[in-house]
Amino acid sequence: MALSNQELLQKAALTTADFGGAGEAPLTIEQVEEFLRLAITPQAMLPEVRTVKSNAATWQESKIEFGARIMKPGTESSRLAEGDRTKPTTGLVEIVTTLIRGEVPVSDEVLEDQVERAGFADKLMAMIAEAVGRDVEELFIQGDTTSGDSYLALKDGWLKLAENGSGANVYAAAADAQDYQTIFNKLLTSLPDRFKRNIQDMRYFVPQRIVEKYRDILSARGTPLGDFALEGVRDLVYQGIKIIGVPLFPIVAGTPDTSKILLSHRMNLYAGYRREVRMETFRDPREGATSFVVSSRVCPQIAHVAATAIATGVNVEP
């Protein structure tokens, strides 16, 4: 019985080695590290958060903290009573990765007409790595399993996890208009004090519009600090916490446009990758094109949801 076109395609996909060795082996560990470096570096949030990798598709990361006092009154030559001894609170962060894949077909003529030839292919791969990083960051930020977008519906991202996870600290900011300083303060004060010990590693992740607007607000004060804010020569901070503008934060169109602000210790946000990133090329002479195919398995996660705070309904009207 004759095979359908779909069956023929599936059969061909299973025998790519038969096409003159068109497929390449998966990247080595060193190449994976370089690919991830190229993917992560230009993004806004990915360089800031904790990157975790494993050879497994699903794994668990240990988390540990001392949430209560461990020091007690001591007595010479005596150990502490059993009730005065302290052990840390432990737990596991489960990373369950999901497959994502991209394909970029390039015609023979494009490759032939480039003066760089082999160099052009290397440049293209670097551009693909950067684009992959952008798309991964979009999923990690905007992911929502109830989304109508099939890509964003793959995983719940950091914003969804921070807003809906156990122990979430959610602040409704609609009534604050564009008083971002008040919103920053409300988020900070909503966090339990035990999560504020490393202020230098905490971050306000905000839509890029807020960075631009907040610089204008500070510049109106007519002080040297206001001049620095307008010129953009210093990082924006509130109470010693850096404010990071993230172009991929979702903006909901309306009257006014709204978005969210996320406050978290940067190492509390996990970017999980299955270590075996695949970058392969496949040339099909029937189409006269070479496809650059990349795939990976990824997962966003939050270690302690209670150590994050998120503002919703934030006015980001230009």
Geometric angle at alpha carbon 149, from 94 and 97, rounded to 5°: 20
Geometric angle at alpha carbon 145, from 168 and 136, rounded to 5°: 90
Residue 209 near residue 260 (C-beta atoms within 8 A)? no
Structure token digits, residue 141: 């930020």
Residue in the structure block whose two tokens are 């190449």 = 31
Instruction: Give the pLDDT mean for 225-242.
Output: 72
- 202-207 and 258-265 strand pairing: antiparallel
Order of strands, sheet of 202-207, starting from the edge strand that comes earlier in the sequence: 170-172, 308-315, 258-265, 202-207, 241-246, 237-238
- Options 3.30.70, 1.10.10, 3.30.2400, 3.40.1350; which CATH number does 25-60+93-145+272-302 get? 3.30.2400
CA-CA distances (angstroms) from residue 12 to 294, 296, 312? 18, 22, 49
pLDDT at 17 over 70: no
What gap in Å lies between CA 145 and CA 299, rounded to an integer? 13
pTM score, whole prediction: 0.81
pLDDT band of 264, cuts 50, 70, 90: very high
Q: How far is CA 316 from the centre of its chain?
A: 21
Residue of 302, 278, 17, 315 whose CA lies nearest to 143: 302
| pLDDT, tens digit (0-9, with 9 covering 90-100), for 174-188 | 999 999 999 999 999
pLDDT attached to residue 16:
31
Structure token digits, residue 237: 């901070």
What gap in Å lies between CA 205 and CA 210, rounded to an integer? 10
The rounded mean pLDDT for the chain is 84
Residue of 136, 171, 117, 143 whose CA lies nearest to 45: 136
| pLDDT, tens digit (0-9, with 9 covering 90-100), for 123-163 | 888 899 999 999 999 999 999 999 999 999 999 999 999 99
| pLDDT, tens digit (0-9, with 9 covering 90-100), for 237-260 | 999 999 999 999 999 999 999 999
Fold of 157-269+304-315: hypothetical protein PF0899 fold (3.30.2320)
Contacts of 127 (CB under 8 A, 6+ apart): none
For the four alpha carbons of 43, 48, 52 and 53, in that order, the dihedral sign comes to positive
Spans of all domains in the chain: 25-60+93-145+272-302, 157-269+304-315
SS3 readout for 163-187: HHCCCCCEEECHHHCCCHHHHHHHH
